[in-house]
């Protein structure tokens, strides 16, 4: 659902840019509380993973594909404030390096794919977790529903922006019907990917999942015939994540490279939901050439390399690496700023 330049007029794009800037500012402030020694290393990895999975378009209908938006996944894994920052980093890297999503529409994309999906998904997720039994299965069920609803919510948000500043005269009702129809189907794919990923992380490192904290029952030991809580594990060293977390990070990065560098070659080549709706309804008549169209990585290929498999794989691998470096750098900077406020990390990391 990467909105290109030209779909939304300049005034509404500028207003969306202000909304996006405000969302990022709130995210920066709130992320200081979320980014403890467990979440900080994971956040950069989540950005790289979402970048990789967004390259894997899956078919949803005849001639139409979809891809992960990632707002629900990011919010559940690392928290809503950090989740907004993660999606903003991914969209920035895609727009600047790969000419995916317009640069003048960057505020639109961060608002629609970042703020709306994160707020919708995390609000619904927290509501479901409160009423469901406090188990890990409840987290995965809540993840499925939250991710599913977040995609049509983003489609509706785009339609609202189109109603306010669309550059074509296509009736808003037709746009809304078409967008919701295809993005409900895409939402099912989003929900499956989100649930599978959250479930996999919970299975190996439940302590790293922001949305699952506080749901793990304490280990019981039998002492003198009575069951008592086992002593809490020692906290990770203040100087950085424990070795198992580093191993998890390396494994996650390797999986992201495999997805972007190899599996992406087999992704659906059909236009995604927004592209299909835009072509069918005539919204794309006013699309403008991307300002970064001359980038050596534009359209997820490396210029000068004629072999499509090698070009796309190398571009995907470079994208994962760049997103991981930038995402980790930005989020560690936020973490260090938090540490500089004088609030001990251990005090807030529970």
Which residues, including other chains, have CB under 8 Å from residue 74's CB and lie 6 or more apart? 46, 47, 50, 82, 83, 84, 86, 87, 118
Residue 243 has pLDDT above 80, yes or no: no
- pTM equals 0.89
Question: Predicted confidence band at 233 (pLDDT cuts at 50, 70, 90)?
Answer: very low
Q: Which two tokens stand for residue 291?
A: 């300002």
Residue 57 has pLDDT above 80, yes or no: yes
Q: Which domains are present in the chain?
A: 10-214+251-348 (1.10.1760.20)
pLDDT per residue over 293-331, tens digit each? 999 999 999 999 999 999 999 999 999 999 999 999 988
Question: Predicted confidence band at 248 (pLDDT cuts at 50, 70, 90)?
Answer: confident
Distance separating alpha carbons of residues 59 and 147, to the nearest angstrom: 18
pLDDT per residue over 191-232, tens digit each? 999 999 999 999 988 888 999 887 655 545 566 666 555 454
Give me the half-sphere count of Cα atoms (radius 13 Å) on the Cβ side of residue 327. 35
Kind and range of the H or E run holding 80: helix 80-98
Mean predicted lDDT score pLDDT of the chain: 89
Model pLDDT, residue 205: 87
- Tell me the mean pLDDT in the region 45-71: 96
Sign of CA dihedral 2, 180, 187, 120: positive
**For the chain, percent of residues with pLDDT exceeding 70:** 87
């Amino acid at each position: 659902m990467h909105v290109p330049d030209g779909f939304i007029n300049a005034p509404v794009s500028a207003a969306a840019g202000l909304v996006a800037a405000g969302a990022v500012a709130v995210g920066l402030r709130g992320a200081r509380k979320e980014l403890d020694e467990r979440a900080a290393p994971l956040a950069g990895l989540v950005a790289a993973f979402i970048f990789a999975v967004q390259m894997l378009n899956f078919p949803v209908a005849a001639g139409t594909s979809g891809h992960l938006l990632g707002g629900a996944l990011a919010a559940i894994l690392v928290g809503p404030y950090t989740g907004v920052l993660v999606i903003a980093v991914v969209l920035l890297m895609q727009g600047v390096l790969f000419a995916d999503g317009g640069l003048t529409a960057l505020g639109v994309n961060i608002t629609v794919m970042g703020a709306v999906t994160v707020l919708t998904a995390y609000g619904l997720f927290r509501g479901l977790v409160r009423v469901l039994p406090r188990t890990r299965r409840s987290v995965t069920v809540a993840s499925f529903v939250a991710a599913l609803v977040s995609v049509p919510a983003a489609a509706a948000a785009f339609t609202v922006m189109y109603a306010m500043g669309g550059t074509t005269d296509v009736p808003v009702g037709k746009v809304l019907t078409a967008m919701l129809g295809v993005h409900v189907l895409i939402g099912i794919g989003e929900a499956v990917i989100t649930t599978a990923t959250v479930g996999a992380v919970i299975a190996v490192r439940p302590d790293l999942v922001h949305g699952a904290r506080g749901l793990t029952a304490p280990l019981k030991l039998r002492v003198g015939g009575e069951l008592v809580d086992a002593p809490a594990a020692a906290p990770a060293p203040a100087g950085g994540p424990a070795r198992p977390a580093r191993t998890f990070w390396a494994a996650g990065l390797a999986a992201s490279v495999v997805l972007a560098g190899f599996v992406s070659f087999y992704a659906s080549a059909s236009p995604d939901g927004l592209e299909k709706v835009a072509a069918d309804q005539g919204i794309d008549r006013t699309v403008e050439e991307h300002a970064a169209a001359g980038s050596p990585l534009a359209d997820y290929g490396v210029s000068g390399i004629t072999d499509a498999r090698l070009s796309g794989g190398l571009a995907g691998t470079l994208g994962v690496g760049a997103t991981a470096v930038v995402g980790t750098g930005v989020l560690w900077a936020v973490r260090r700023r938090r540490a500089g406020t004088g609030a001990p990390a251990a005090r807030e990391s529970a």
